[in-house]
Structure 1
Amino acid sequence: GQVQKLAYSLLNDEQVRDFEINRELNLGFTLEEVGRFRVNIFVQRSEVSMVIRYIKWAIPTIDELGLPRVLKEIVMNKNGLVLVVGSTGSGKSTTLAAMIDFRNHHEGGHILTIEDPIEYVFRHDKSIISQREVGIDTLSYENALREALREAPEVIMIGEARDAETMKAAINFADTGHLCLTTLHAVNSNQAMDRMMNMFPSDMRNQLLMDLSLNLRAVISQRLVPGMKGKLACAVEVMMNTPYISELLRDGKFNEIKEIMEKGDATGMQTFDQSLYDLYKSDQITIKNALAYADSSTNLEWKINFGGDQKKLDTRHNLNKLGGLEELTLPSEEV
């Protein structure tokens, strides 16, 4: 059909073979003077289909995205592991690109990215940036990760930590003095820790906890929340690896980390509920959406009622005017 002809026109011979074997393929392509696109090609009802997403030429800045300023400090670390986590479509790749580009504009060195596919195209500034696309510039993530250190980078960005081998490589890069950034599917930092632990056999977990306690720099979790006038607001949780959190990581006490994060203003740490509270106070989101996307709607409602100075409102009264608490739909945590 016409869709198959269009899809195949975007592929090289190797990608065509890959698609015909696996029946699905991700890729990126550029149209001069138009922009860059991310494409997913798949088969449904025996017909080739496509989903195409437009990616802006300009890489948005951390400030333009409304992200916490502490992300600028995080990406300037000399070494360590940084995780950006969230569900599909939560903007992880955009946040990662903004962080990489901030470093590009402020620090010299070699930044290596391994992506499937390349989304944002970086331009050299103070750093030289090498972007390798799986399936085009390298045969596989495994090959690219194995050769990465031979390419002499100071910073390595891995598009997604999909399995134990990729996560092991990311931790190894951090352990050998590099700054490594990657993404993971998880709804918050606690789940991110659990997901990493579950990637590995039980006999490796003590070593993994030790490695994380020493090398993890931060976990940045995000959710896109419906905002005012059809815009989306980004709620962000930031976990920093302070000395106390390092102890909790080493002991596997993930459930105790959130309490420390709630007290972590001086370090730049914040929970989702704190971020949602700030978005509500600044009139970027409604009460209803703040509570719908909270980790603890009860705690956030209490904070809105009693923790603010200008908006000590009865949220239940306001929610009932908006359609009632019984209509409040919590977002899915499936990733």
Structure 2
Amino acid sequence: MVAQRPQVPTPGGRLRRAGEAVADPLKTAGVPADPHAVSDHPQSVVPYLKALTELFGSDLHCKVGSPPRVRIDGRLRKLQAPILKPPDTEAMVAEVLRADLREEFARTNEADFAYSVPGIGRFRVNAFRARGTVALVFRRVSVGAIPLEDLGLPPVIGKLALEPRGLVLVTGPTGSGKTTTLAGMVNLINNQREVHVVTIEDPIEILHQDNLAMISQREVRVDTEDFASALRAAMRQDPDVILVGEMRDQETVRAALQAAETGHFVMSTLHTTDAQETIARIIDFFPPHEQKQIRLSLAGALRGIVCQRLVNRADGLGRCVAMEICVTTGRIAEAVADEEKTSMITELMQEGEYYGMQTFDQHLVSLVRDGVVTIDDALAVSTNPHDLTVELKRVGLVA
């Protein structure tokens, strides 16, 4: 499914319309314009967050010895702003860090949390120390969920979101839009099902307001100790749908599988690149003597895997998402359960168009054919550039 051309989803804000100019990052920081200047007073982070939002950037980096930088369409661009000094980043972390996290930051030298600025936006923040000084990275996130149809995602994503039970995984590298996709799925559930949704997030990024559904959003280290304990507790909260922000360890994976097997619909994420690797990663959380049983449990619970990568658009208006989609059919379940057949999953996806399945390379061919991405950019993100080249030649897109 090709991302819609009239609107370009940005990684954490409103939709940028095709043809809408993006301001020059050297002119929008709202701070002194000399990039070589050193400020005499500690700087607030708010002007830089405003610049991040106005530039449709995804991330803001604040580090001593460098001016702030904004990631725009994958490139890390310098803002025209004074070079940051230690008092600047110390003041920034004091400005944004919640009181309950200050002791943890002093002890561990890192902290994850969410931060909102009225009229500007909501951000996921990681504060850390580098070479003895404070640094911060802000990820821009949507204040509210973007509907799936506005994201230009295939209809099968909506079908997976409305499964009554089982496990759906959204995977991909950091910054590939997993949170945005999951929020769109929760939004669809919220608008169509009278259910209780429990989300467990670290931190809460996108806020949901109750509609047909009742949504209880819990933040790790604020509302609960960790993912695994929150997932166990969720089973006593009369949930219909459970969203686990990330499956990071064996205990969380086990609890998610048990929830899915006992009639709940569970969604979560992994930092894996494709469907086949996702299956392997889940199995590898467990010791060898448990893996056969875990394969059987996963084969019975899994409803689908959605893998994402972002690709530069040919028109220069940001990036679009390339997706690999695996929907659990009888043959897919058999391949998950049998280690010797797991390698067949890619082939089964290639043959599964009827069910809404596609491999990354199949989607990339479609994006190239429709002029959404260039051949070079498609090859740059392909799982197997040689195989993609062969397919592009077969359909007449490469001589």
Same fold (TM over 0.5): yes
Give 3-state SS (helix, strand or coil) of 1:139's partner: coil
In the alignment, the residues of structure 2 paired with residue 36 and residue 58 of structure 1 have an alpha-carbon distance, to the nearest angstrom, of 9
Say whether residues 1:173 and 2:259 are aligned partners. yes
Match of 1:153 among 220, 224, 239: 239
Match of 1:46 among 108, 132, 135: 132
Match of 1:238 among 304, 309, 325: 325
In the alignment, the residues of structure 2 paired with residue 287 and residue 203 of structure 1 have an alpha-carbon distance, to the nearest angstrom, of 45
The answer for the alignment partner of 2:278 in structure 1 is 192
CA contact (8 A) 1:80 1:174 kept: yes
In the alignment, the residues of structure 2 paired with residue 180 and residue 123 of structure 1 have an alpha-carbon distance, to the nearest angstrom, of 20
RMSD of aligned Cα (Å): 1.4
**Which amino acid is the alignment partner of residue 297 of structure 1?**
P
Moved more, 208-217 or 294-303: 294-303
1:299 CA drift (Å): 2.5
Say whether residues 1:287 and 2:359 are aligned partners. no
Aligned length: 311
Give 3-state SS (helix, strand or coil) of 1:151's partner: coil
The answer for the alignment partner of 1:29 in structure 2 is 115
Give 3-state SS (helix, strand or coil) of 1:197's partner: helix
Matches within 5 A, 1:53-132: 53-132=139-218
TM-score when scaled to structure 2?
Answer: 0.75
List per-residue Cα deviations over 1:253-312 (Å, max 9, x = no partner): 2211111110001000110011111111111100111122222222322222222xxxx2
- The sequence identity of aligned pairs, in percent, is 36
1:246 CA drift (Å): 0.8
The answer for the alignment partner of 1:207 in structure 2 is 293
**Which amino acid is the alignment partner of residue 268 of structure 1?**
G
1:237 CA drift (Å): 0.4
Say whether residues 1:275 and 2:363 are aligned partners. yes
CA contact (8 A) 2:228 2:255 kept: no
List per-residue Cα deviations over 1:146-188 (Å, max 9, x = no partner): 2111111100000000111111111111011000000001110
1:201 CA drift (Å): 0.6
Q: Return the structure number with greater helix share.
A: 1
Give 3-state SS (helix, strand or coil) of 1:283's partner: coil
In the alignment, the residues of structure 2 paired with residue 82 and residue 96 of structure 1 have an alpha-carbon distance, to the nearest angstrom, of 10
In the alignment, the residues of structure 2 paired with residue 58 and residue 115 of structure 1 have an alpha-carbon distance, to the nearest angstrom, of 15
TM-score when scaled to structure 1?
Answer: 0.89
Match of 2:353 among 265, 268, 291: 265
Give 3-state SS (helix, strand or coil) of 2:236's partner: helix
The answer for the alignment partner of 2:219 in structure 1 is 133
- In structure 2, stretches of 5+ residues that fail to align are 1-86
In the alignment, the residues of structure 1 paired with residue 368 and residue 307 of structure 2 have an alpha-carbon distance, to the nearest angstrom, of 18
The answer for the alignment partner of 2:14 in structure 1 is none
Cα separation, partners in 2 of 1:124 and 1:139, compared to 1, 3 Å? same
CA contact (8 A) 2:195 2:240 kept: yes
In the alignment, the residues of structure 1 paired with residue 353 and residue 238 of structure 2 have an alpha-carbon distance, to the nearest angstrom, of 36
